[in-house]
Amino acid sequence: MVLITDNIAMDLFLLLHAVLGSYAIPTKSQDSTSTRPLLKEFRSETCVLGSSVDLICTNKTWNEMIHTIWELTTERGTCIIASGFGVPDHDTCNDGKVLNNSSSGGSYLHIPLFSKADEGLYHCEAVYRDGSYSVEIKVSAGDTVSPQISTRLDFRDGKREAVCSAEGGKPAASISWRNRWNSSVTQSLKNNMDGSFTVESRLILPDSISAGNLSCIITHPSWGEGHTEAIQAINHEESTASFTLQYSVLSVCSVILLLGFLTACSIVRTSVRRRRTVWRPICHVYR
């Protein structure tokens, strides 16, 4: 019975919101009763794609609030998130957004992972004990730049490293490897002068693994929600030839250095022996 009553109460709040569009709050002024009009504000917010976003409707605390209604018009459509004193929360968005309370008692709308589909108008109406407040927030994403993708094979410290790079992205891209074989992976993030980011991921390849069977996966908000790009990391023929050439050159150089070292040691040793030889004159005896 209590649940039915609470739902009816919330439905009445939403019905007033839809029909009247604003609220008049009774206040006492001396011996007469008057109404205080709904204060309205317009704001704009620029959010970073892929980040969590908190939108504040009013700085009133929850012990002063009667109810708060958020009406969202985005690419996802129109939906409502509402919360009121003594009534259950109401949510027709069902996409992860939620009304939270701050440590100071304030209320805010939390967007866990902001995407292009969350851009739009966010209209909030808050009714509290001494009045009411309304704000319309235009929420948009900041400038996004798609990163430049590149892959290569490095030979370092006697090991092959597959390298996948996402350069110049706003915000930073995310890189993962489709096949890791329990190999070591290291990632670096560089802040560029223009405000963009360069992400580089390195995967050490085991000796028995061919680079032609390896792919890296890059995710970036500018490509849309949940979109990934699978890039063939290395061209097998080119990488094998390059690796073989590098290995051959390194082997030849090592042999040459070793022969040179042994030759130098032999020359030094011979020279030392000659210096230690004692010269003895031959004497002839004449009778």
pLDDT at 274: 62
Tokens of 72: 């969202």
Residue 110 has pLDDT above 60, yes or no: yes
Are 158 and 136 within one domain?
Answer: no
Could you tell me which residues come within 8 angstroms of residue 236 by beta carbon, excluding any fewer than 6 positions away? Answer: 210, 211, 212
pLDDT at 77: 92
For the chain, what percent of residues have pLDDT higher than 70? 68
Give dist(CA 69, CA 24) in Å, integer. 15
Count the domains in the chain. 2
Residue (of 167, 157, 175, 139) closest to 56 by Cα position: 139
Residue 228 has pLDDT above 90, yes or no: no
Map residue 282 onto helix, strand or coil.
coil
With respect to residue 260, please indicate whether it lies within any of the assigned structural domains.
no
pLDDT digits (tens, 9 = 90+) for 123-141: 999 888 778 889 999 999 8
With respect to residue 220, please indicate whether it lies within any of the assigned structural domains.
yes
Residue 122 has pLDDT above 90, yes or no: yes
Are 155 and 216 within one domain?
Answer: yes
Are 13 and 129 within one domain?
Answer: yes
CATH number, domain of 152, equals: 2.60.40.10
Max Cα-Cα span within the chain: 161
With respect to residue 136, please indicate whether it lies within any of the assigned structural domains.
yes
pLDDT at 167: 94
What mean pLDDT do residues 222-243 have? 54
Report the length, in residues, of the chain. Answer: 287
pLDDT at 92: 93
Are 213 and 154 within one domain?
Answer: yes
> pTM for the full model?
0.50
Residue (of 194, 75, 195, 91) closest to 140 by Cα position: 75
Residue (of 168, 152, 171, 169) closest to 160 by Cα position: 152
Are 168 and 40 within one domain?
Answer: no
Give residue 7's pLDDT band: very low, low, confident or very high (50, 70, 90): low
pLDDT at 283: 52
Q: Check the CA dihedral 2-64-68-82 and report its sign.
A: negative
pLDDT at 236: 42
pLDDT at 70: 94
Q: Report DSSP state, residue 16.
A: H
Give residue 37's pLDDT band: very low, low, confident or very high (50, 70, 90): very low
Using the 3D structure, point to which of 141, 161, 195 is the last residue of a domain: 141
Could you tell me which residues come within 8 angstroms of residue 53 by beta carbon, excluding any fewer than 6 positions away? Answer: 45, 47, 110, 111, 114, 118, 139
- For the chain, helix (H) and strand (E) counts, in that order, are 2, 18
Are 18 and 115 within one domain?
Answer: yes
Domain that holds residue 157: 148-234
Using the 3D structure, point to which of 141, 163, 193 is the last residue of a domain: 141
Are 77 and 49 within one domain?
Answer: yes
Using the 3D structure, point to which of 124, 141, 158 is the last residue of a domain: 141
With respect to residue 229, please indicate whether it lies within any of the assigned structural domains.
yes
Give dist(CA 15, CA 224) in Å, integer. 35
- Amino acid at site 115: S
Are 197 and 131 within one domain?
Answer: no
Could you tell me which residues come within 8 angstroms of residue 80 by beta carbon, excluding any fewer than 6 positions away? Answer: 14, 69, 70, 71, 72, 90, 91, 92, 93
Least-confidence region, from 184-188, 196-200, 224-228:
224-228
pLDDT digits (tens, 9 = 90+) for 162-194: 899 999 988 888 898 877 677 788 999 999 998
Give residue 237's pLDDT band: very low, low, confident or very high (50, 70, 90): very low
CB 24 within 8 A of CB 118: no
